[in-house]
A and B are shown apart, each in its own frame.
Chain A
Amino acid sequence: MPFRLFLSYVGCCAVLAAGVGAAHAQPARADARRVAYLSTLPQAEAAKRIGAIEKIAAGKLPGVNVEYRTYRYELPAGTRMASGEPDPAGIRRNEEIQARNDATIVQMLAWKPDVILAPGALPAKAAAKATQTIPIVFACKCNPLPDGFDLVKFPEKPERNLTGFTRYHLDMVEGDSRRRLNLHRKRIEYLKMAFPPDKPPRRIAAIYGDSYDEGKWRYEEAAQQLGVEWVPIRLTEASIGDLPALLRERRADAGLVLADTFLDKFSGRMARAAAASPMPVIFPWDEADLGAWMHYGTVVDIPEKAAEYVAEILKGRSVADYPVEFPRGTELAVNFRTAKAHGWTFPSQFLHVVDRAVE
């Protein structure tokens, strides 16, 4: 009996200690959450990108086991020849790519991911077409509004299972709000500033790969308002290397590469081709880092932002409560090595506005 009394004392103490321990106990690890990464990049590059995102997201989701799996989404091939005629081989190739993409998405959905991270408008649209329930985070350089890729109608309060962020600049201080010039005029301004004030460029080549609709974009009109002549040059995969010759052939004083899917697909080759040109060519994103003359565009820490979106949604935040985020910072980066290779000297007023020099 005395020992039983003693045991009861010890039991009370054990219960008290257990209560204290439980209060400090770490939450139990939940079942693994799944994130599908529908990437347009080659496997090695995609692994590198998702690795960076995974690392950041892990810091935002302490104690949560998240499993990542990468699925390859192929961007479509060109369907027109350099002459503008339809390219049957390209069309056929596109059909094959479409079939592979469809199969990939089916496979991805069969894995039952909790979130789909789609770095690009096309994979995001394709995923949204296949599922209306799984949250999709897009990370694109596109216009996500209905007059663009139509990913979301109300960016402040997304109405479907799509949300995310874009590097596409939409807010214009002035001018027609229906015209999505996306820093277009500022690029022309900076390109003009790269020339000596007494020798401003008169003919600027508009370099693009996908279809270009002046009726919709009215880039030419904007260029003319800034006192330059608009010289469209359409590239195909085969003609990328011919860019310097084409610029020379079209008697362009400078080049402006339009932001399109073609550029996304062949940015490296296009940056190298432009770097080979003796005249300044301005790009829209990060191409100065790839060797191009310069780029001017928005700045977004994509891995950080992607990890933030994924983590918040895995924490339970609903898509409808998660606005689409637009870029807030811009950057004019100049590759002085390329300029130096061509013996180009920038005027001082231009150097005042350069945000970053790539040496």
Chain B
Amino acid sequence: MRPRGSIFRRYAFVVSVALAGTLLVASLVEIAFSLGENLRRTEEFHVSEARAASRRVEVFFGEIERNFLAIASSPWNRGLDGSDRLREYQRVMRLLPAVRDVTFAGPDGREALFVSRTDPNRQGSGRPVDPVLFGQGRSQGAVFGEVEHGRESRAPFVRLALRDRGDSAGVAIVTVNLQFISDELARMARRGTEVAYVLDPQGRVVAHVDVSRSLQASRPDRDNPVLKAPVAQGSFWIRDAGGSPVLAVFNRLRNPPWTIVVESPWRQVLEPVLATLYRALALVAVAVLLSLLIARWLANRMARPVVALRDGVAAYRAGNLDHRVELRTGDELEELAEEFNRVARQLAEYTGGLERKVDEKTAELQAALQVARDAMRSRALFLAAASHDLRQPLYAISILADTLSSERLQPGAAIVLEKQRHAIAVLRTLFDNLLDLSRFDAGEIRPSLRVVSIREILAACILEQEVVCHAKGLKFVCEIDPAWVRTDPELVRRVAGNLLSNAVRYTPSGTVTLAARGEGGHVRVTVADEGIGIAPADQARIFEEFVQLSNPARERDKGVGLGLSIVRRIAMLLDMNLRLESEPGRGTAVTFEVPAAANVHGVVAEEDLSFAAGGAFKGARIWIVEDDPMVRDALSMQFNAWEALPAFASSASELLALREAHGRWPDAIILDDMLGTGEQGLEIARMLREYVDDERIVLVTGNVDPARTLELEASGLVVLRKPLASSDLAQWLRQALRPAAEEATTSPARAPAG
């Protein structure tokens, strides 16, 4: 949509154009006429100046001519002797400083008298004078000779021949220094850089306003446009020596036949024109400025009501319903403004009612939310309180069942025992899942990232599922790259375990594959099966809680539908990309990506993934600090089965007593964190750290209190959670006892200090 211009701008533009535009056009037209008029007057003025200069020159020579003709025409002329004429000439020369000398020649053309300013006077020398000039002077009256220049000074001078009255009269030849004409031109009121000069018929400069110019021998210039002009006076534009245009105004004299030229630079000629132009432009600028101000004022006045209404609408749109449009125009616009204000008031009232209702509903929802939060908190507290007590017997039952399985039993009893173990396992899994789900929801699970081999993570899962697959007749394929990852190994192990468990569970026959491939910055772990598959419509649901697609009868040995829900939560927590590909009847593949660890080299040692069999920890001295007799019995039976050498204590003091009795520390110590004596396993472990390596100590806890969990994890010791499976215990023992085996020859445990 084209952006709309403001009404002010439109009004301002229209009024500006109307006022300023009209004024500007009228002024420009007036300026154009004024310029033409000024130009004409300027030229006329310069022509009159040239005439004035011509008159000066004419007066200059006229004065000389008149004075000498007066002598020649005087009635006493006939009786003048040489002395009288000399005196008269001297008198006239005092009056006319331009006259350098006078020669009087008699009718015979010979010098009778010579009067000079600078040379001695002569009388009756009888020297012949210039016959041409003499002849012309006698026949024509006042005759000018050629312009000549002084030999040294280069001063221009001209000779003027004047005839005496009478039949036998002689001729007076007057030498006139033309520098005095230059002085006359210089005395004229010159303006600026105006130049006046006199040209003889050959185009030579005989006088110049700058007298020094007249001293320079100027060459004839018959092509001078001034000389070629057919009229006696006029003007035209030419270019001066510098190439700038000048106005040349000329006027031709009759006698001598010289031309007076006045040159004026264009800037000077046009000065009055330009002054008029600038003045007019300045006035126009001021007028335009004023008209713009008036236009602004008018436009503002015209646009104000509309702008006020627009601002009112904008304010209502912004939610400011208290805004009121104030207009006092006394016309329909004022009525419109009042209507706006009425609508605004109604809107404000309606909006106020709505806001009150929203506030009430919000308060109700917040109360409900608080109730829900309280319920969540209560559930978490309940689970925390119940977990220990519920886990303890389950822990004992589990260990007892495992222990019993290693005994030789009647065939029927063995079947029963196996079913019992299976039920325990299902129960434990269910229990673990429920607790974990609770912990995830409460935000209590925080990943503990470290660099670890993917093989180490997946080893326990492989061990577990290998047995199950074998039992179910499935082919279990593992393709694990020796890669290192940076992650929380326990959580990843849970993900892999849950996925494998599901794969095995829903694969009646065929192959279950566990693969881990390093790709780029990730290790891609894939759990694939050739099971029943998942319909596309159900693929999005299977990660929800309590969703089991192929267990309509809710068989508990198939789980309760929490495994994949936990998988989804862990994947989100560890920021792992989880992808499911499935096709009904063909199988399912679930892939997740674990961030690879940088800068870890070397080949991972092949793990001994075989499950601890009887005699696996033969001769290992293992001390257990546990006050629950049922658990102690179960553990005792398990260690005996492993042919280890267990010893039990229920407190720190009993542990020290064992140390006294045996004379040395054991190969491994298992500490229950919550002892009935009020002691805590963590404090005992801290005491033991002085004597036993951390790797040989394990804390076992059933406490789900977040604060305690954090404290245990921060201790740096291995922490196992109840209920504890024999496999977990065996795995830890394998890790703990390996260094002992390797270092057995030196110091399996440190001697107590002191």
Contact = CB atoms under 8 A, between A and B. Distances in A.
Given A156-B217, A352-B91, A186 B120 contact: yes
Interface string B167-204: 00000000001011000000000000000000000000
B288 A13 contact: yes
Nearest to A17: B285
25 contacts: A1-B9, A2-B299, A6-B296, A13-B288, A155-B215, A156-B216, A171-B150, A171-B151, A171-B155, A172-B118, A177-B151, A183-B118, A186-B118, A188-B120, A189-B121, A323-B154, A323-B215, A326-B152, A326-B153, A326-B155, A328-B180, A330-B118, A352-B87, A352-B94, A355-B94
A197 B177 CA distance: 31
A352 B90 contact: yes
A236 B546 CA distance: 145
B154 A24 contact: no
A170 B152 contact: yes
A16 B152 contact: no
Contacts of A71: none
Given A1-B9, A183-B118, 11 more contacts: A2-B12, A6-B292, A9-B292, A17-B282, A20-B278, A20-B281, A171-B152, A175-B119, A177-B151, A186-B120, A326-B155
A326 B217 CA distance: 15
Interface residues of B, number: 44
B120 A9 contact: no
Identify the 3 closest CB pairs spanning chains A and B, nearest first: A326-B153, A170-B152, A2-B8
Residues of B contacting A: mostly: helix
A185 B122 CA distance: 12
A145 B288 contact: no
A172 B285 contact: no
B12 A169 contact: no
B6 A20 contact: no
B211 interface: yes
Interface of A: 1-2, 5-6, 9-10, 13, 16-17, 19-20, 23-24, 145, 155-157, 169-175, 177, 183, 185-186, 188-189, 226, 322-323, 325-326, 328-330, 349, 352-353, 355
Given A9-B16, A13-B292, A155-B152, A173 B215 contact: no
Nearest to B5: A1
Contact of B116 (A20, A173, A323): A173
Contacts of A2: 6, 8-9, 12, 299
A23 to B, nearest CB: 5
B119 A186 contact: yes
Given A9-B16, A10-B289, A328-B179, A16 B281 contact: yes
Contacts of A13: 285, 288-289, 292
A16 B285 contact: yes
B380 interface: no
Nearest to A174: B119
B285 A10 contact: no
B653 to A, nearest CB: 89
B119 A185 contact: yes
A354 B225 CA distance: 47
B153 A170 contact: yes
Contacts of B180: 328
Nearest to A173: B119
Contact of B97 (A169, A174, A329, A349): A329
Nearest to B284: A16
Nearest to B7: A2
B69 interface: no
Contacts of B215: 155-156, 323, 325
Nearest to B121: A189
B87 A189 contact: no
Contacts of A226: 120
Which of B12, B121, B155, B285 neighbours the largest number of chain A CB atoms within 10 Å of its CB?
A: B285
B9 A5 contact: yes
A238 to B, nearest CB: 35
